[in-house]
Chains A and B, each alone.
Chain A
């Protein structure tokens, strides 16, 4: 609490708004490199649209692969953001205050990234809008029984709601920036963005109420979204997909990977902008503990999948899981187990939990592990289902890798812009947890 007590309201304003100072050369070089990667990704996609989906590595019968893996991965990333900002808000968890803005930003950008992949992976991406139920003279409608359409609505809603949540949360802080900045262009922009926020009790009253409802909506939404995503698989009959455990399994996995990503993002920001006072070890420890929990849930899911495959006596399920552990993709499977089930065990030790470097490295492992979890579920199941005559192997192509790299660039582009344009930490909420200045305190 020492550092916190050293904090004054004005210091909070100062330190956080300081982050928006003129970008350094480092920032620019990073940003331009990012744009270059993004450009390559875009090229790969256009090349694919022009020549046909064949330039991706798909092989019969593996008709979904890296693209859908990325989709699930990014949606997963998104979740912890909402978790931290909404669910922890409802639980009034204090350690969320300093990091929730960053994780909310992460949510919005991750959903923006995830949303691309269902379109990228289409055979005819130019008619993606046929998935929307819009009135047309041919009187064609969409199939509301298809899990893919559930996706369209779930992800769409999720994007809208989390963006609203994100921007509304920032209004008071933007007002604060508006009141600080002098130079004209920025002043005008922030003035517009702040919607003339004055911080009157009148405003605060409605604001807190509305914010509470957003949180209340976001919480079940975030659960539903990843359940729906998991149903893309669970609702099919593919051995290795068709499983009732998927929704909780996926939600846990999503939060797991999301928290890891938050750490991956927050650690460098904290260092670069010297936010040690705001983002404390305690915050990290809180996240670390949740990682342990979710890791255990995920591991449990892995075990249960195997158990059910064996216990059900279903030859296809059992064949599938033996294939995962021993088949052509065994390496990926064991990478997943190592990263998601073994590595997080280190966090049981307080020493590790409280060591930023260690946390950072572990978070990277988890990111990798969770990407492979999705890859394994999708690709291995497809390449080894009911009909041995149809079995085939998948091999990734450079186009898919290019697009994947591009998607990361796309995500980080938004993120880089975010930390330079918008308050990365919540000014007003940090003030809430600071002891309010009183005359008594002064007197003492």
Chain B
């Protein structure tokens, strides 16, 4: 297999970052990682990322919750049928409350799960291809490319106005 390298540009301005992304993509460098201190729509558009799949987690969780709510209330009531006042053993109106609450609960938990899984959040500090300033005021683009392309990438980054460019092995 071919040994790959990463080029790593740090920007102060969002427009130059966006420009760099565009140029790189034109130059057919698709494997980009962009860092920003806040969620930026410009960048997202420039990268043409597709819709996050977290929403499917949410949907599944919510549906599951609704079902749990329904089965829990009805089955336990039937399992231990106790008469209170003249109310029927299975009184759906109050049970709907549990359906709702569990929908929300499971939905949220599933969403959290989805987030953690998809954004690959792990319990360790990022070492490579990261700069602490990203969480302050700098933007960054990491380009994964073949060794022979390094120069080219560096050029593009520089031209687009990167403050500095670094090389890192992956």
A and B touching (Cβ–Cβ under 8 A): yes
| A residues apposed to B, CB below 8 Å | 8-10, 13, 133, 139-145, 150, 153-154, 156-157, 160-161, 164-165, 168, 171-172, 175-176, 178-180, 191-192, 194-210, 213-214, 217, 220-221, 224, 228, 427-429, 431-432, 436-440, 442
Q: Chain B: interface secondary structure?
A: helix
Q: Looking across the interface, which residue of chain B has its beta carbon closest to that of A187?
A: B125
Given contacts A176-B136, A195-B116, A217-B107, contact A153 B54 (CB under 8 A): no
Which chain A positions have C-beta within 8 A of B124? 191, 196
Q: Are A199 and B37 in contact (CB under 8 A)?
A: yes
Please give the distance in Å from A15's CB to the nearest CB on chain B: 12
Does B121 sit within 8 A of A, measured CB to CB?
A: yes
Q: List 7 A-B contacts (CB under 8 A).
A: A143-B84, A144-B76, A145-B94, A153-B98, A198-B35, A201-B49, A210-B112
- Pick from B1-9, B11-19, B144-152 the stretch touching chain A: B11-19
Please give the distance in Å from B19's CB to the nearest CB on chain A: 9
Q: Are B34 and A161 in contact (CB under 8 A)?
A: no
Given contacts A143-B82, A206-B52, contact A133 B136 (CB under 8 A): no
Q: Roughly how many angstroms separate A168 CA and B115 CA in the complex, as a whole number?
A: 9
Please give the distance in Å from A187's CB to the nearest CB on chain B: 8
Q: Are A210 and B135 in contact (CB under 8 A)?
A: no
A209 contact from B13, B54, B95, B108, Cβ within 8 A: B54
Q: Are A9 and B136 in contact (CB under 8 A)?
A: yes
B118 contact from A197, A206, A214, A429, Cβ within 8 A: A206
Please give the distance in Å from A214's CB to the nearest CB on chain B: 6
Q: Are B122 and A198 in contact (CB under 8 A)?
A: no
Most buried by B among A8, A141, A197, A206: A206
Does B67 sit within 8 A of A, measured CB to CB?
A: no
Which chain A positions have C-beta within 8 A of B120? 202
Q: Are A224 and B37 in contact (CB under 8 A)?
A: no
Q: Are B54 and A210 in contact (CB under 8 A)?
A: yes
Top 8 nearest A-B pairs (CB, nearest first) are A9-B137, A179-B132, A176-B135, A209-B52, A141-B76, A195-B121, A210-B115, A431-B38
Which chain A positions have C-beta within 8 A of B30? none
Which chain B positions have C-beta within 8 A of A442? 13
Given contacts A8-B137, A139-B80, A144-B76, contact A209 B55 (CB under 8 A): yes
Which chain B positions have C-beta within 8 A of A440? 15
Q: Roughly how many angstroms separate A175 CA and B39 CA in the complex, as a whole number?
A: 14
Q: Are A139 and B123 in contact (CB under 8 A)?
A: no
Given contacts A178-B125, A196-B122, contact A214 B111 (CB under 8 A): yes
Which chain A positions have C-beta within 8 A of B12? 437
Which chain A positions have C-beta within 8 A of B42? 436
Please give the distance in Å from A11's CB to the nearest CB on chain B: 9
Q: A179-B136, A195-B116 are in contact. List 7 more A-B contacts (CB 8 A).
A: A141-B80, A145-B84, A150-B97, A161-B108, A179-B134, A436-B40, A437-B137
Q: Roughly how many angstroms separate A205 CA and B155 CA in the complex, as a whole number?
A: 28
Q: Which of B20-54 contact A (CB under 8 A)?
A: 33-40, 42-44, 47, 49, 51-52, 54
Q: Are B137 and A201 in contact (CB under 8 A)?
A: no
Q: Looking across the interface, which residue of chain B has its beta carbon closest to that of A155?
A: B101
Q: Are B125 and A191 in contact (CB under 8 A)?
A: yes
Given contacts A133-B76, A142-B76, A213-B107, contact A13 B136 (CB under 8 A): yes
Q: Roughly how many angstroms separate A164 CA and B111 CA in the complex, as a whole number?
A: 10
Q: Are B105 and A157 in contact (CB under 8 A)?
A: yes
Q: Are A198 and B134 in contact (CB under 8 A)?
A: yes
A204 contact from B36, B91, B125, B132, Cβ within 8 A: B36
Q: Are A197 and B39 in contact (CB under 8 A)?
A: no
Given contacts A9-B136, A153-B97, A160-B109, contact A200 B35 (CB under 8 A): yes
Q: Are A199 and B47 in contact (CB under 8 A)?
A: no
Q: Are B97 and A10 in contact (CB under 8 A)?
A: no
